[in-house]
Amino acid sequence: SAVISQKPSRDICQRGTSLTIQCQVDSQVTMMFWYRQQPGQSLTLIATANQGSEATYESGFVIDKFPISRPNLTFSTLTVSNMSPEDSSIYLCSVVAGGMRAQYFGPGTRLTVT
Amino acid sequence: AQSVTQLDSQVPVFEEAPVELRCNYSSSVSVYLFWYVQYPNQGLQLLLKYLSGSTLVKGINGFEAEFNKSQTSFHLRKPSVHISDTAEYFCAVTPLTGGGNKLTFGTGTQLKVEL
């Protein structure tokens, strides 16, 4: 498995501003993912972040809104840009670890946009 | 593409009673299957996974799940629940090959254990 931390754990932001969420893993991993969980709903994949290459975004998510960095094999950031109340969600990062195809999740960042 | 259906959005059960949370999936290719649990105000924790081999999989906290390929199901069971099992449970799949390890999640089942 892997131990994953996220910062901040929660934040309240004003519309029109941006927030950068950090994800730190205790071991080197190739594949990292960013998910969004809107209130009372399931998880939706935003993008896959691989070290040394551009992130791959899912349908409905664009780089200008959710820029992602992956500077090394243990760290990634997701920025939520020009926020609106509809961006209020839990944002989670995950990694594939242990060679068993299972994904392990961070504790999430709870974002409220007012 | 894959899809996951969790028909029960909420399951109330009394403490020490058995419980089954249902999960059905649809996929044109073979998949790996997972159950995750999300306790209030926390991230997701892996409960168990089916990759290959025995179709009965045992996980943490006394949970088990059975993979049924013909019925495309992966139901989660526990013979006796505890109040601390109150949480949201998510079933998820990823294709064996290709797919980039992406997980497709069901909509979740809220398990509420009552005294």
Model confidence pLDDT, tens digit, residues A63-83: 999 999 999 999 999 999 999
Q: What percent of chain B has pLDDT over 70?
A: 100
Q: What is the residue-level pLDDT of chain A in tens, covering all 114 positions?
A: 789 999 999 999 999 999 999 999 999 998 899 999 998 888 999 999 988 888 999 999 999 999 999 999 999 999 999 999 999 999 999 998 876 678 899 999 999 999
**SS3 track for B9-22:** CEEEEECCCCEEEC
The strand pairing partners of A57, in sequence order, are A47
- Which band of pLDDT confidence, cut at 50, 70 and 90, is reported for residue B37? very high
Cα–Cα dist B44/B47, whole Å: 9
With an 8 Å Cβ cutoff, are A33 and B102 in contact?
yes
Q: B-chain residues within 8 Å CB-CB of A110? A: 41
Closest in A33, A42, A100 to B108, CB measured:
A42
Taking the CA atoms of B29, B30, B32 and B37 in sequence, report the sign of the dihedral they define: positive
